[in-house]
Chains A and B, each alone.
Chain A
Amino acid sequence: DVKVTQSSRYLVKRTGEKVFLECVQDMDHENMFWYRQDPGLGLRLIYFSYDVKMKEKGDIPEGYSVSREKKERFSLILESASTNQTSMYLCASSPTFEAFFGQGTRLTVV
C-alpha cells in the first residue's frame, strides 16, 4: 500500500511564526502536492512538485512556499503565519493520474 505520512495531525501556531508542514511518501512517486481544505470550498491546490527541486504554483500560492530536496519529502512553509491560514492541509503523491493522500494536518493560527 502507498503510504503518505504528514508529520503532525494537529498544530497550533502563533501569528507571525514560521511554520513547516512535512510530508513523506514511500512509493518513489514523481509528483507531490499540497492542498488546503476549507468548508464549502473543497480542496484547493497550493503548490505541486513534479521532480526534486522542481515546483509549480497552484491556485492559491500566496503566503506559502515549498521545498523538495529529496524525492520522498515535500515541505510546505508558511513564512509568517496568519489567522486566515487556519485550515486543514492535505499532502498527496502521484505516479501519474491517481493521487494518494496523507491524513491531513489541522493547523490553527492564533
Chain B
Amino acid sequence: AQSVTQLDSQVPVFEEAPVELRCNYSSSVSVYLFWYVQYPNQGLQLLLKYLSGSTLVKGINGFEAEFNKSQTSFHLRKPSVHISDTAEYFCAVSDRSGNTGKLIFGQGTTLQVKP
C-alpha cells in the first residue's frame, strides 16, 4: 500500500521570500511522483512530475522539486513567491507498474503569500 504525508497543512510566507512545501511518501513499489496546484474554486493543475532520470525536476511557474529516494521525499520549492502563488498544493504518487494514472494524494498544503 502507498501513502503520502504532507508535513504542513498551512504555510504562510511573505511575497518574494523562498518557500518549501514538504512531502514524504511510503510505498513498497516504485512510484511516479507529482505535485498539483489548486487555485480557489478550480480543479487540479499539474505543476511537475518525476518519472525517472534527474532527481531535480523543474515545473511551471518557477517551481521545482527534488526526489530523494533514501528519504522517500519529494519536496517542492520556489526561490521567490508571488501573491498569485496563493493556492492549495497536493503531492501525489502512482504505482509505476499499474500505469493507469491512479493517484494517492497527500492531505494538501495551503500556501498563503502575504504582501
A interface, CB within 8 angstroms of B = 4, 9, 30-31, 33, 35, 40-45, 48, 50, 90, 92-104, 106
B45 close to A48 (CB less than 8 A): no
B101 close to A40 (CB less than 8 A): no
Does residue B35 face the partner (Cβ distance < 8 Å to A)? no
B interface, CB within 8 angstroms of A = 4, 6, 9, 32, 34, 36, 41-46, 49, 51, 90, 92, 94, 96, 99-108
Residues on the A chain within 8 Å of B4, using CB: 42
A/B pair count, beta carbons within 8 Å: 71
B105 close to A95 (CB less than 8 A): no
The CA of A104 and the CA of B45, in the complex, are separated in Å by: 12
Q: Which of A4, A42, A100 contacts B105 (CB 8 A)?
A: A42
Residue of A nearest to B45 (CB): A101
A101 close to B100 (CB less than 8 A): no
| Minimum CB–CB distance for A97 against chain B, Å | 5
